[in-house]
Amino acid sequence: MPTSTSALDVVDGEVRELIRRRGLDPFTDPGPVRVLVRDVVADYSERSLTSALPPIGDPDGVVRDVLDRVAGFGPLQRWLDDPEVEEIWVNEPGRVFVARRGRSELTTTILGAGELADLVERMLRTSGRRIDMSQPFVDAVLPDGSRLHVVIPDVTRRHMAVNIRKFVLQAHSLDELVATGTLPVQAARFLEAAVAAGLNVLVSGGTQAGKTTLLNCLVAAVPARERVITCEEVFELRVPLPDVVAMQTRQPNLEGAGEIPLRRLVKEALRMRPSRIVVGEVRQEECLDLLIALNSGLPGMCTLHANSAREAVVKMCTLPLLAGDNIGHAFVVPTVAASVDLVVHVATEPSGQRRVREVVAVPGRAEGGVVELADVFTTRGGRLVRAEGFPPHPERFAAAGFDLAALLEAPAWR
C-alpha cells in the first residue's frame, strides 16, 4: 500500500523539529540522523494504528524519502545514488534529464515551485561558493565529488539551469581502461612508458568523452617518488600518489576581491618544488603559463576540449594569445612544438562507449606557423592500431628503462 503524501509530510516535519532541537547537522552527522528518522517512522506507524493519522504503507520507502529530503538533495538524490547515471541536468522544474552510458533520457522527476532553488542553495552550502545576480554562474563540488554548475535568470530565460556531473571514476589505471575496451594493451603500455619517461601529454576530447578519467589513469602511471601538483577549476582529479598537492580556483567575494584564477594556480605551482604539474583543463590564457612551465623542463599533463588531436594542437597555439597583445604566433607556435610531446584523443562512440581514437606525437618542429605531427596510433576499422610515427625524446625512454622499439613493434597480425 503506498504511503500518502500527508503521512510523508507529517514524518518529515517531526524529523526536522527533532533535528533542530538536538542540534544535529544532516550533512556532518548522517548516522544519528538516519537513526532518528527510523525511530520517528516506527513511532508514527504505531500511533497511526490507534489514531486518525494516515497510515504508512512502506516504512522503508518513507525512511528513504525523508532522508533524501533532510540529508540529501530531495527528488534528485535517487539519481545521485544510481551508479549507472553519469550526469543529471535540470532545464526547468518539470524537465529533469539524466545520462546513462553516454545517452540522455528525460526522467519522470518533477520538482515543486521553489524546490530547485532550495536544492541549489543546499548544494552550495558545503562548497563555500555562492550564486546571485552579481555572480550568475557557479562551479562547485558536492560532498560526494560530483561537479555542480548552475546558471540563473536573467542569463537563462525563466528557470535556473543546473548540471551535476557525477564523479563516476570507472577506471583507476590504464590496465582498467584496457579491460573496459577504451584502448588496446599495446597503446596502454606505450602511454605508461611515456608518462614514466616524463613526456608532456595533452588529453583531448569532447564533453563527457572521458578526458578526466583518462588523465587520472595517466597520472597513476607517474613514478611514486615524484611530487605532483594539480591545478583545477574545481577538484576532480584523484591522484593515487603519496606526494600530491591539489589546488582549485576561488570565486571573488561579495566585494569582488579574493578571486584566484587558474592562471594564478599554475604560477604558484612552480614555486612548490613540483616534479610534475597536472592541469585539469586549459580553456583560456592559463595555457600560456602551462606552456612556459613545460618549456622550462617541468613534465606535465592537462586536458583540452577539441574534436581531434590536431585541432587540440591548433587550440594550444591559439589560447595563449588571450594572455595579451604582446603574445604572438611567432612565439607560441614553436613553444607548443617544443613543449607538447603527445596528444591522446578520446571520443564517445554512438553506442556510448568511450575509446581512445588516436595518439599523436609532436616531434618538435614547426614550419610556416604549423606544428608538425606524427601518428603513433590511429583508428582503422574501428580499432586503435599502430601507425608509422614515433614519439620525441627516445633517450628519455631509454633512461627510464624502456625499449621504445619493442613498445611500438607492430603486432604479428599486421
pLDDT in tens, 214-269: 999 999 999 999 999 999 988 888 888 999 999 999 888 777 778 899 999 999 99
> Directed axis angle between helix 262-269 and helix 286-295, to 10°?
20
pLDDT in tens, 90-122: 999 999 999 987 788 999 999 986 889 989 988
CATH architecture for the domain at 174-408: 3-Layer(aba) Sandwich (3.40)
Beta-carbon contacts of residue 186 (< 8 Å; ≥ 6 apart):
377, 386, 407, 408, 411
Element containing residue 125 per DSSP (H, E): helix 115-125
The x, y and z cell numbers of residue 202, run together, are 595533452
The x, y and z cell numbers of residue 128, run together, are 563555500
Phi, psi (deg, nearest 5) at residue 147 = -100, 130
- Beta strands (DSSP E) in 53-102 are 85-92, 95-100
Exposure of 66 by Cβ count < 10 A (0-12 exposed, 13-18 middle, 19+ buried)? buried
Among residues 97, 115, 114, 94, the alpha carbon closest in space to that of 106 is found at: 97
Greater confidence, 254 or 124?
124
Fold of the domain spanning 7-165: Beta-Lactamase (3.30.450)
Which range in 257-266, 307-316, 351-360 is most confidently predicted, on average pLDDT?
A: 307-316
Radius of gyration of the chain (CA): 25
Phi, psi (deg, nearest 5) at residue 175 = -65, -40
Task: Count CA atoms closer than 13 A to 251's CA, side-chain side.
Answer: 18
Domain locations along the chain: 7-165, 174-408
